[in-house]
Structures are given as structure tokens and as C-alpha cells.
Chain A
Amino acid sequence: MAREGSTHPDLDPAKYDAAEAVKIICLGDSAVGKSKLMERFLLDEYRPQQMSTYALTLYKHKATVGNKTVAVDFWDTAGQERFQSMHPSYYYKAHACIMVFDIQRKITYKNLSMWYKELREYRPEIPCCVVANKIDADMKATQRSFNFAKKHDLPSYFVSAADGTNVVKMFRDTIRRAVEYKQNPTDFMDEVLQELEVKVYSSNVA
């Protein structure tokens, strides 16, 4: 993220070009439990890096997919969601996306369409899932069918960061899909972005 002049080495997008590294981003409204889900999945591994200059939190994780070890970086919003929009570098080179809402608050569900729209502007093809969090607060929610995921043909999960229901499954599925996507990418957006950067740069020089 080059919002400031220099880029933090942990945020250098070039590292996501390595075969064994993937970037997974989280989207969703304030207080839907994004960080709590990360914490539940990572447990003892949970050591977030606050990148306050960039309004994001980074969690590093080592996963095993098939017989390979994969370095997974999870990007979490750290309050950036309050601008109702994320900085483009948040999406840049992401391999999968986890979209979260709170089953107790309708507005967080309604805002999924806004988050999804923005995601697809930058990453038209990456795997994405819809996560209905906090089912421990109201188990009846699991008897409702939320149409958003179905309509966009996205896998969906009923989860609870508090009691752990389906959290690990959701993350493992997403990591696997991120790795699969990486092996067979269909997004051309990064190339286009890079092309633009080069053009902007050369016109500045000229």
C-alpha cells in the first residue's frame, strides 16, 4: 500500500507473486466480528500486526494445502470500513475474499451488496464467500435462507466466533479456494492496474 511515500515491507505486493503465498481479504461493516473470527481461527498463532498508517491489520498464517505449505496473509480492515470504501491497494492481488455480516443487524446484511460491488470492481473473479456471524446470539437465524449468497452463487456459512461453529471450516475452504485460484487466475485487473501505473509514471517523466 503506497499511500505514504514508502511501503512497509510486509505490504509489498510483489510478495504475493511467489507461488506459495496468498492474500485473503475480509470485508464487512464495523462490529460484525471480522477480527473475532480471525482470532478464533488462529488461536495461539494470533499475532496481528497493526498497520495504523494504512488502517489495516495483517495476520500471518501458515497453512497446509494438499502436501504444500502456504503462507497466508489475512487482511482485515481496522476501521477503514467506515469510509464505506476501501483503498484500492486493499484489493490489489487478493486471491480470495471473506464477506461477513451480523445476523442480528439487518443493515450489515444489506451493506453486503455495496461491499460486493466494490470487490468486483477490483477483483471480478476471485473466490468469495458470505459469512453469517453471531449465530450463537440467535440460533433461529440458521433456519432462515439469506438470498444474497445464492443470488451471486457464493458459498455461505453460518458461523459463531464465540463458540467456534464452522469457523475453521470456513477459513480452510477459503484458503483452499485462494490457492486454487492462484494456480489458475482469471483476473486481468492486476495487469491492467500495472499497465496504468506504468503509463502514469511515464507521462510524469515525460
Chain B
Amino acid sequence: MNFEAKRCGVQFSPPSIVLIYENKSTNKLRKRIIPVRKYSKDSDYRKAAETLKNHPRHRDYLQSVSQSQLERLHIILRDHMQGLSLEQSLASFRLDPEQDLNKLDDDELARKKGKMDELFEKNRKRKDDPDFVYDVEVEFSANNQEKCSWDEESDDGF
């Protein structure tokens, strides 16, 4: 059985993960609603996401959904249980390139990392890809490099 996830989201009532996937053997799009059970406003979203990803009944469908996306969806579900609006919840994932992420707590940092993972997963070359190359070496010529504006302020060490 081969399923390719197309979109993955949440539904608040009852709390569920909603998956749109393509069945590769029939080329048909299907929707699967996975209820999230025993999950409350105090639950550990990491554990819940991991349990779901490895769940014998769902894991084949969720193979192409990353762990971090499942974590993110569980965070949104939990935020809702804690009374946050969807807008507030989504705002917590937004990236501000000026923000010092060293200052965030575990939960806040996980949200930002989850957001970064979207691009990472999109650009990711996996070892199972047919064109995967382990050692990719690219030389970037130093000749036509421009000065970086980040070096302009005369800080200590730059």
C-alpha cells in the first residue's frame, strides 16, 4: 500500500487530524479523519504526535507527514483546548528574523522550529530519493562575492 499525503490539518470538534491523501495504486484522492483521543490541554504534544505517527492503523497513511508537522497540529489542538483562538495560535508560529530564539522556552522554540521545518522538508533531499547523492560538494567562488551588510557595524570580532 502506498499513500501520498497531500494536505494535513485539524478539526476541533471532535479533536481530529484530517488527512487528504492520494492512494497511489488507484490514483484517487481520499480523506481520512483520525480522532485524537486521550488528549487534553495538559498533554504532551510531542508524545501524542509520536504515538500517532507510529500507530499501527494510521502509520502507512502518515508516512509522508513529518513528525514536526504532526507536533504542530497537536499544538494547535491543545491551544484551542486552552482557550486560544486559531489566530493567536498561528501567530505563535510566525518567524521574525530579528528575534533572538535563544531567549524562548521549550514550547515557544518548538513552534518556531516547527515553522522552519516546513521549508526544510520542502527542500529536503531524502536518502530514499532516486537522485540522492550523499556527498554533495559545491564550490562557491570567493571572487565575485560582495561584502555582507551584516559585517558593517563595527562590533567586536567582525
Contact residue among A104, A109, A144, A148 (Cβ-Cβ distance under 8 Å from B147): A144
CB distance from B42 to the nearest CB of A (A): 21
Cβ-closest chain A residue relative to B125: A163
Q: Is B1 an interface residue (CB 8 A)?
A: no
**Contact of A145 with B116 in the complex, beta carbons under 8 Å:** no
Is the beta-carbon distance between B124 and A30 smaller than 8 angstroms? no
- The one of B97, B119, B121, B150 in contact with A146, judged by C-beta atoms closer than 8 angstroms, is B150
Interface residues of B, dominant DSSP: loop
Closest Cβ of chain B to A145, distance in Å, is 4
Q: Which residue on chain B has the smallest CB distance to residue A116? A: B157
- Please state if B97 and A148 are interface contacts (CB–CB under 8 Å): no
CA gap between A160 and B137 in the complex, in Å: 11
Taking a contact as CB atoms closer than 8 A, the residue among A84, A144, A162 that contacts B148 in the complex is: A144
Q: Provided the pairs A110-B155, A166-B138 are in contact, do residues A160 and B123 lie with their beta carbons within 8 angstroms?
A: yes
Within 8 A of B (CB), among A76-102: 79, 81-82, 84
A-B contact count (CB 8 A): 107
Cα A145 to Cα B116 with chains together (Å): 24
Task: Tell me, in angstroms, the Cα distance from A112 to B145 when the chains sit together.
Answer: 21
What residues on A are CB-neighbors of B123 within 8 Å? 136-137, 160, 162-163
Count contacts on A: residues with CB < 8 A to the other chain: 44
- Residue in contact with A165 in the complex, picked from B104, B113, B138, CB distance below 8 Å: B138
Cα(A88)–Cα(B104), bound, Å: 23
Query: Bound state CA distance, A111 and B106, in angstroms?
Result: 20
How far is B100's CA from A81's CA once the two chains are assembled, in angstroms?
12
Q: Which residues of B contact A (CB under 8 A)?
A: 97-104, 106, 109, 112-113, 116, 119-121, 123-125, 127, 133-138, 140, 142, 144-148, 150-151, 155-158
8 chain-A/chain-B pairs, Cβ below 8 angstroms: A79-B106, A110-B155, A143-B146, A146-B148, A147-B147, A148-B151, A160-B123, A162-B120
Q: A31-B101, A113-B156 are in contact. List 5 more A-B contacts (CB 8 A).
A: A31-B109, A109-B150, A144-B146, A160-B123, A165-B136
